[in-house]
Amino acid sequence: MERRRFLTSSLAASALAFAGSSYAQTSAGSAREYYQLRKYHLQSGPQTKLTDSYLSGAFIPALNRLGMSPIGVFNLTIGSETPILYVLIPSTSLETLVGLELKLAQDKAFMDAAAPFWNTPATAPAYGRVESSLLIAFEGWPKLTPLPAAAQRAKRVFQLRTYESATDQDHVRKVQMFHHGEFAIFQKAGFNQIFYGDSLIGPRLPNLTYMLSFSELAELDDKWKAFGSDPDWKKLSGSQEYAFEQIVSNISNLILTPTTYSQI
């Protein structure tokens, strides 16, 4: 218990440390969400069906009971390795997010529904490995923005982009760039902006991750063309302070398809 409290306090302190930069909130009463982004490495066959059943029938209902909603679950459609499931968990409570597994273990309904997944033997595991990152929402985009209900029922694809920076200073400047005009340019180009998160814990730090949504891949291409030709983008990206090559060292660009039970 003491270790968990220490971890939660340390993470909260790290998040509030952003208050020294020009883009962070200065109040401890910030309404910014935290995100846990999970990456399940699977093998084709029984693993995928078992994991889908666990997430849809046990995990998501339990998270909803804890007040975490909406939960996104996505198959990797275009990327370096498949099959992979991405799970996006938003929460306004850092302590709940950090201690999630311990809280779930106290939920009898969850444990009963999760038994086929949790009790798999080592010789036939439910998944290969799980990677997890913890993010804090950008001040200028403090909460996840799900699509309207009608759009959620329609065909849609998601783009998950991660920008790495060579130094913390470059990373801060890239986050500032979003707040100093990039959000608005995305809006003008017609993007559905789902979330923006600054990574607190995870691989290849420092980095940020954000998600966009489209009705189809052709729309993705059209909107990025509109974005790239926008005069405001050319002015912003052409400024010495935000020269892209200087503040972004690597980009991960994935195309995801939501599962039938995804709430996003």
The pLDDT mean for the chain works out to 88
> Is there a shared CATH topology between the 2-6+30-135 domain and the 137-258 domain?
yes
The pLDDT tens digits of the residues spanning 13-58 come to: 444 444 334 343 433 445 899 999 999 999 888 889 999 999 999 9
Could you write out the three-class secondary structure of the chain? Answer: CHHHHHHHHHHHHHHHHHHHCCCCCCCCCCCCCEEEEEEEECCCCHHHHHHHHHHHHHHHHHHHHCCCCCCEEEEEEECCCCCEEEEEEEECCHHHHHCHHHHHCCCHHHHHHHHHHHCCCCCCCCCCEEEEEEEEECCCCCCCCCCCHHHHHCCCEEEEEEEECCCHHHHHHHHHHHHHHHHHHHHHCCCEEEEEEEEEECCCCCEEEEEEEECCHHHHHHHHHHHHHCHHHHHHHHCCCCCHHHHCCEEEEEEEEECCCCCC
Q: Is the pLDDT of residue 118 over 70?
A: yes
Q: What is residue 22's predicted lDDT score, i.e. its pLDDT?
A: 38
Sequence spans of domains, the chain: 2-6+30-135, 137-258
> How far apart, in Å, do the first and last CA atoms of the chain sit?
33
Q: Which CATH number fits domain 2-6+30-135: 3.30.70.100, 3.40.50.620, 3.50.50.60, 3.40.50.720?
A: 3.30.70.100
Q: What is residue 243's predicted lDDT score, i.e. its pLDDT?
A: 81
Q: Is the pLDDT of residue 5 over 50?
A: no
Q: What is residue 151's predicted lDDT score, i.e. its pLDDT?
A: 65
**What topology is assigned to 137-258 in CATH?**
Alpha-Beta Plaits (3.30.70)
Q: What is residue 148's predicted lDDT score, i.e. its pLDDT?
A: 81
The pLDDT tens digits of the residues spanning 77-94 come to: 987 788 999 999 999 999
The pLDDT tens digits of the residues spanning 131-144 come to: 999 999 999 999 99
Q: What is residue 30's predicted lDDT score, i.e. its pLDDT?
A: 55
Sorting pLDDT into bands at 50, 70 and 90, what band is 149? low
The pLDDT tens digits of the residues spanning 199-212 come to: 999 999 999 999 99
